[in-house]
């Protein structure tokens, strides 16, 4: 899933208004933020395979350390503990951990059966990506609902709080559309480096958060 992960981050703000939006973005996109480093280091692998599913030309055949269910749980616990180390409330730390795990749940719904339960274990995935229309409807709706939740729980402090948020929303939407219509990427390295660029969204969300506040 792509915009489903930022969607989960937006929804997280509703559950834990004190947690920064940048932190929630880092958590919800989390596994995909780690994944390009694991692939570039040669620890995990994928290949370009046009038609792998209707939605994506990528065959995620080997990513047990970032995308197995067991490791997703481990990353979730690590994230929660790291957050707690900053002397934050346990409640908020648990929301951060849950945001990390939400990534696996959303990927489980969308991916074909390529997500191992544990490294070397059986692979699962409900395969929503086999249908382009279904993916667009479900992911689009999820994004819209979570964005509304976010808009209801925060308000802009200044103009940047409005403009930066809507610019991000439009940018995410455009990338999503571009993904749908563009030809398969030239090679796996291009995909990995593009994935690293997702760290930009974390910084962007952090910036938005500085210019918005929780509603009373
Ligand atoms: Zn993922």
Percent of the chain scoring above 90 in pLDDT: 90
Q: How many angstroms is it from 44 CA to the middle of ligand 1?
A: 13
Q: How many angstroms is it from 66 CA to the middle of ligand 1?
A: 8
6-51, pLDDT tens digit by residue? 999 999 999 999 999 999 999 999 999 999 999 999 999 999 999 8
Residue 216 has pLDDT above 80, yes or no: no
Q: How many angstroms is it from 199 CA to the middle of ligand 1?
A: 14
Q: How many angstroms is it from 33 CA to the middle of ligand 1?
A: 9
Note the pLDDT of residue 61: 95
The pLDDT confidence band at residue 91, using thresholds 50, 70 and 90, is: very high
pTM of the prediction? 0.96
Q: How many angstroms is it from 60 CA to the middle of ligand 1?
A: 10
Whether 12 contacts 99, CB under 8 Å: yes
Whether 39 contacts 45, CB under 8 Å: yes
Residue 69 has pLDDT above 90, yes or no: yes
Residue 94 has pLDDT above 80, yes or no: yes
Residue 1 has pLDDT above 80, yes or no: no
Q: How many angstroms is it from 39 CA to the middle of ligand 1?
A: 13
139-174, pLDDT tens digit by residue? 999 999 999 999 999 999 999 999 999 999 999 999
Residue 42: Cβ within 10 Å count: 7
Alpha helices for the chain (secondary structure H): 4-15, 21-40, 64-67, 69-85, 90-110, 132-153, 159-181, 188-196, 199-210
Q: How many angstroms is it from 21 CA to the middle of ligand 1?
A: 19
Note the pLDDT of residue 143: 97
Note the pLDDT of residue 55: 86
Note the pLDDT of residue 131: 93
Q: How many angstroms is it from 104 CA to the middle of ligand 1?
A: 7
Residue 65 has pLDDT above 90, yes or no: yes
103-121, pLDDT tens digit by residue? 999 999 999 999 999 999 9
Note the pLDDT of residue 215: 87
Note the pLDDT of residue 191: 92
Q: How many angstroms is it from 43 CA to the middle of ligand 1?
A: 16
What are the residues facing 48 on neighbouring strands? 58
Whether 88 contacts 74, CB under 8 Å: no
């Amino acid at each position: 899933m792509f915009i489903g992960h930022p969607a989960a981050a937006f929804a997280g703000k509703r559950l834990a208004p004190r947690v920064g939006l940048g932190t929630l973005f880092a958590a919800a996109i989390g596994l995909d933020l780690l994944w390009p480093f694991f692939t570039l280091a040669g620890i995990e692998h994928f290949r370009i395979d046009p038609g792998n599913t209707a939605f994506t030309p990528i065959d995620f055949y080997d990513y047990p350390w970032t995308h197995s269910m067991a490791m997703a749980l481990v990353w979730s616990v690590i994230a929660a503990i790291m957050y707690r180390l900053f002397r934050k409330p346990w409640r908020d730390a648990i929301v951060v951990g849950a945001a990390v795990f939400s990534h696996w749940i959303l990927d489980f719904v969308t991916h074909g059966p390529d997500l191992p339960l544990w490294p070397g274990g059986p692979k699962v995935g409900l395969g929503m990506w086999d249908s382009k229309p279904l993916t667009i409807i479900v992911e689009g709706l999820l994004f819209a609902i979570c964005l509304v939740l976010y808009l209801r729980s925060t308000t802009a402090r200044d103009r940047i709080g409005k403009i930066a948020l809507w610019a991000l929303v439009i940018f995410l939407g455009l990338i999503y559309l571009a993904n749908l219509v563009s030809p398969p990427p030239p090679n796996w390295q291009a995909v990995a480096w593009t994935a690293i660029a997702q760290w930009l969204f974390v910084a962007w969300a952090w910036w938005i958060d500085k210019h918005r506040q929780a509603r009373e």
